[in-house]
Structure formats: C-alpha cells, structure tokens
Structure 1
C-alpha cells in the first residue's frame, strides 16, 4: 500500500474494524496489501485489519505433531489455516481404545472414567476435520514463506446438513461489506469542533447551564448573547491576520442566527417557552440605543420550565384548573383528560405558544406534587 495513502498507526485504534474479527471473503484476505509501518497488518481499502473470521469447506488437510493445516475454501478463494493442537488433542484415540475397560459397555452402570473418555473423543472429533467438512476459523493473518495464512485462535467444525449456516453467513458478510468494509474511514478532525451542528449543541448547553446556575424564571435574548460570543472569537482568532475577508454573514449576524436556533431547540425540548401577550404575537419592545426594528429590540418573555414548577404559578394553575373542571364532565369522567385536550385548553386560556413537550413537563410536576393523577397513558384527572 502507498505510504502516503496509509493511515498512521497511531490512529488505527479509532477504526472499530481494527479491534474486531473482520468477516472478509478469502479472496480479499489474499489480496490485501500489507502495511508499510507494521508487519502482519493489512489494509482492506482504508481499514486496518490483522485478525479475521472465515467459514469454508476443508479442501486439503495436513497433520503434524503440534498442529493441523487445513485448506479452507469459501467459494472466493482458498487459504491455509494453521490450527494448533492442545494437550488434549495430542492424545491419540487409539490409546483410548487400548485403555478401554470391560465395564465400559455395561448397560446399567455409570463409569466416570468411561464418560470422560467419551467426552474426550467428542471434543477431538469436533477439532479433527476431514476433507469436505465445514470449518470456522478465527485468528490473525500472517505471511509465511510468501503465502498468506491464518493462525487460528479458535476453530471448530460446523454441522450444516441443509446449508443454513452457510447461507446465513454469506448474507451477514454481504451486509457487513455494504455497511462497513466498503465505506471509507472518516476520522473527525479539529475542524469538526467548529461545525454548525457542534456549535449549535454547545450554544444550547451554554444556555442550559446559565439557566440552571442563575435560577432565572425569564430572560431575554440580550441576556444570553454575550455567553455565546466565545464561540465566534475562536473562529476569528484561527484565521490568519493577512487573509482577506470573505464575503458572507458577519459575526454579529451569525451570533443572532445561532442564538435563535439554540432558543428554538430549547423550545422544542420543552425546557423553555415564549409566552405571548396577544394572539397577534406582539412583543414588548425594549427602548435602547439599538437601531429601531432590530431583532434585539424585542423583549421576549421566556419562562424556564425547570423553574415553572416553583415560580410560574399561572401555567401550573391553568393546567390544574382545566383538568379539575373538565374531569367533572361526563366525557372525561372515566378516562380523564387527554394531554392533547389539556394542551388545546391551555393554549386558549394561557398562551398560544405552549408546546406539548412543555406541557408534559408541567403535568409531571403537578403529578409529583400529587395535584393530579395519571389514569392511563396520556390521561390525567384530579383526586
């Protein structure tokens, strides 16, 4: 593999495929280029790989004193798999037959020694394969005498009389290729920290921390705009001094847009809501030195729902009164009031801009205070 295109070894651990047994076709295992940095590390496309998991038919077999060498064919190629024997495998079956005692064949007696010998024979038969049998091998890929091979960590015979295991295996491998192996590896760089999504998330968390620390019940956008200023200072400091300015929105405009999006996220989550004074959405205009008509001249009355349970008694009482009054009606007498009915009534009585997420937090607070009770999913009534 070209050293220029190869991923630095210090970053290999960031690829989850590097730590897993990759289920690759044997053809791809044989063709994978070896790393120029570390021996016995290979690359499939941009993914570093050193251990694999294969399933195939044994097409040749060699037995030595300490290991078996099986040729495994999965339909795309053949690779040699070195399967080491453990101490149990080195015991020959013939020796077990010579040690067989007369009472092994007794029908009614239980002989622990005989059962142990049967268990050894069963384990040996699972690890001693013949040509034509199905073998699964997991282990690292090595190059020995210019030939690619797998040194097995674990291997065993797979019983598959109707080829169900092979069909499932092929289906899973093709899906892994589509979802992971054939997709290039993209590592997040430092520039990702300044992406719009990351900036919005950090701006939202900054406002949440401010509301929790100051325990405010209402605030204006002007109160929190300075908290987001450092997010834009980092970007301006990173730009070279001699670089010419690029056409686009100014930092002030970007700050306004980011704050507006962050407040919208908080409203969608139900953590804050904007209480409107009229159906025409008339805002209180704050007299200041800012230009008339600027977005910052608008005083937006925003209540934090974490504090509504303690400070905003109007919304709590509105929801509680609606549930208490409507629960007496025959329509809601048995099941209780549905959350959507409560939401519609709260919007008519209290504020048009109360979201369902905000109301659910209010209902949870009322239920914790034992003011209301949930009769079933999304239905509430009073005691």
Structure 2
C-alpha cells in the first residue's frame, strides 16, 4: 500500500474536484494515512490522498481513550495502524428526555411510554462508549492545534462478538486502495473543456477563484447583503470570463446557453464553497431553494450568540473564563441553526468583538462586557 504523504505533484484546480467520486464519499482510509494527508493549498479543510481530494472519512476502530465534556465526547480510535481523535457531539434529547419517562409495563399491557423509554435507552447506549468498545465514526476532517481529528456527523458502538464486522472491513479496505485510492485521479480533455476551459486556459482558474472571492466579499460588504441566492449575484462574475459577444455579459441577466454560462456557474459554485469554508456565508436551512446567509449581516445569528454568551456567562461554571467556543457553537446550533459551522461562528464572534459586544477572556473563551 502506498503512503498518502505529500508529493511534488501540483493540485488540480478545485473546479475539477467534484469529478472525482472520492471527493463526495466517506473515504475508508487507514488512520495512518489520514494522519499523513496533506492539506490543500487552495481550500483549507480539503485534504489529499495522492491526488484524490477528500474531506470526509469513515473509520472503524477500538476506543483507547475517552474524555467527556458538557456538549461532546472525545474518543481516541485505534484501527491498528494509528490513533485519531474523534469529536462526537452529544444529542440534546438525551438531556431533555433521557430520564423523564418512568415506569414499567405490567400485566401484558402495551404501554407507549415504556416502549419509548426503552428505545431511547437503547439509542443512548449505542452512542456512549467506554474504553475497549468498537466505534464506527463518519465525519469531516479538521486540523486543530496541529493535530488531525474527525468532527463526527454520525457515530455508534458496534456489536461484533465474533469479529465478523472487523474481518469484513479488513478484507474490504485493501481492495478499495487497489481499485480506487491508489489509482491516480485523471480528467479527460472533454471534461476539462466542459468544466473550466476559458480564454486564458485552465491554469488561470486558481487566480480567477481568488478574484471572484474578492468581488463577492466586496459586494456583500458594500451593499450590506443579509441573504442571497446564487442567481442574484451570478452577473458579478461575468467580467472575469469572456462572454460570447459584447453586451451579453452585463446587467443581471446571465447567458443561459453555451460554455460561457457553464463556466460562470462553475466559478460561482466553487466561490460559494470557499466562502462557506471561510465562514463568510452559511445556509441556515439546507433546501433546494439554496438560500445563503451572510454571517456578519445576519442580525438574528448575532443576537443569538450575544444571548448565549450573556446568559451563560452568569453561570458559575463560566463566570471566570467565559464561554468556550464549542459550548457557544452547540448552544447556537440548538437555538438558531444546526447547520451553522464553526468557521461561521468564529467570523461572527470576531465581528461582535470588534463592535465591543463581547470580549475574549482567553484563547477561545468569550464573555460579555
């Protein structure tokens, strides 16, 4: 098996990453290779195994350490090639309902409350692990304090008394390496032409992406835009790509056919991805409507953050140091949007701090004035 260490091969343009099926999958790599992945120079939070871009992984291993916090668990998962830290958020309904339903069934009578309590207990037991338990976790990769970790979006304890799950995985992963991961990601000339060809050629797209990000940032700030849809701002990128004819790329109406329209849409798509990665924008609700909120202009989000910090800073636990960013993130997700990213929260916190609404007491801790 080849290593995923950094090589001298240049990265493909981020406009092409979606053509690689690995990019949209939960990649089943060995932990050793996950720890050695190189981070993209174009988009933070994207990593490369050889020339395959990825940001989500699927890991199965034994819990070798466990730390509990108010809002999440940290599990160290060992798959026999290495150990990686997995941050697993607690489900709020455990605290809301975990022990609220009491009583036992009797006399053969079916009691809905009792059965519901048993189901909740079964679910909770599958999500709370001890050292030695087998854990499967799926999530996105992050680098925190120079340490690679998994931000879990899905995890559970695996019951594997005869090791059939582990054996099946041991047989499956080498096959995935041979058939997919170790084979280079190659793009045909047809895909290049359809996806990113423009007057300056493919090599211009990294610089075009930088320009388009700057254009949208300046526009959103200058106009104080709070919400938008992609088709509302598509016309702003027309000058970056040569249009089919003079006068066709001005105004707010986009050209609907031909390579020009495809190039603009691809550039806009990648620009929005990058702005989301930076936390400048986020989607409060994931729906086909594709409505984006501008972080610094979202008054409801800023109010929710101020309220969380203001209320919890009065509690004895947070009175001295203030509220940690992860606690704030968990609370705001419950109150405002479960889709809020940490990057977007940090942008909002910085904005509030610059406006003297909150202050940073120490690293990653905040309180009100």
Greater Rg over alpha carbons, structure = 1
TM-score by length of 1: 0.46
User: Which of structures 1 and 2 has the larger relative contact order (alpha carbons within 8 angstroms, sep 6+)?
Assistant: 2
TM-score by length of 2: 0.48
